Amino acid sequence: MTTINESFAEETPPPAPNRLVDAFALLWANKLALVGSILAVMFLLIGVSGLIIWQVPGLQHLYIDQNLRETLHDPFTAGHLLGTDNLGRDVAWRLIAGIGVSLYVGFAVTVISVVIGMALGTVAGYFGGWTDTAISGLIDLTWGFPVILVAVIFAGALDPGLTAVITAVSLVTWAGFARVIRAEVLSLREREFVEAARALGVSNGMIIWRHMIPNVRGTTLVMASWFVAVTIIAEAGLSFIGLGAQVPTPSLGQLISDGRGFFSVTPWIAVIPGFTIALVVLGLNALGDGLRDIFDPRLKRW
């Protein structure tokens, strides 16, 4: 009886792996990705709060109201966690709203770039021929322009503001996605599972949806996290020179610009938003690397 039970136990298939548990285990093992995830989630929650403050008229007074009797207060002053600026506005509320505005611009640009870049890159890499030649030429032409230069031209030609920033940066960054996705698909289309799908009569659209896109998911996630960070830096730079967010809309770049004139007296007004940008960029890049390890099906983690 014991022998039969042991034989039955040996033939019993192992339980199916829990992908969520495995994902957390991989994230926990990658300490850099774990720190990045914590930073990204923290700033995402702060950013959502900032968007609410920015969009709800009844809350906008938190970062707009001025009090000239309480100017340039130090951090941890009663009622002002991070102090006040030269107009008596609360730096903490302006920082929260600025994080929300910057993340909004970053995610808006990234979503637009991912949709356009993945569509054109996948079509170019999968079909090849004249389609690839035409799209690749457009990618090379677009990617040859510096992002900041195009953003400055558009912001100067249009009314300065967030719409001009999103439009200008999106017109360039999609090409970065398309170039990488095209290269990935060029390699994938020659793989055995794609040839098998073609032999079975699977349509090109279904092959792209079922085989191409899942296999570039990890790369897309890493690039998306990086492009959110790049867009935040670009928006901060444009706001710093007055071509991005316009008063009274706050942004991290605008906060640095507001504080630079008082740096010798109250350096925290400029240092705090600058340090925040650095932490956001670090967190997003580390998170992207962790997500690539978790979701890229070619890594064979489970």
DSSP assignment, residue 158?
S
Give CA 270 to chain center in angstroms.
23
For the stretch 65-92, pLDDT in tens is 888 888 888 888 877 888 888 888 889 9
DSSP state of 211: I
- Domain positions in the chain: 29-59+82-299
CA distance 167 to 108: 10
What does the pLDDT look like over 32-44, one tens digit per residue?
A: 778 888 888 899 9
Share of the chain above pLDDT 90, in %: 24
CA atoms of 250 and 95, how far apart (whole Å): 8
Measure the CA–CA gap between 213 and 122, rounded to whole angstroms: 8
Q: How far apart are CA 236 and CA 101, in angstroms?
A: 10
Q: Judge whether residue 300 has pLDDT over 50.
A: no
Residue 291 neighbours by CB distance under 10 Å? 24
Query: Which CATH code for domain 29-59+82-299?
Result: 1.10.3720.10
User: Among all chains, which residue has been given the structure tokens 């774990």?
Assistant: 34
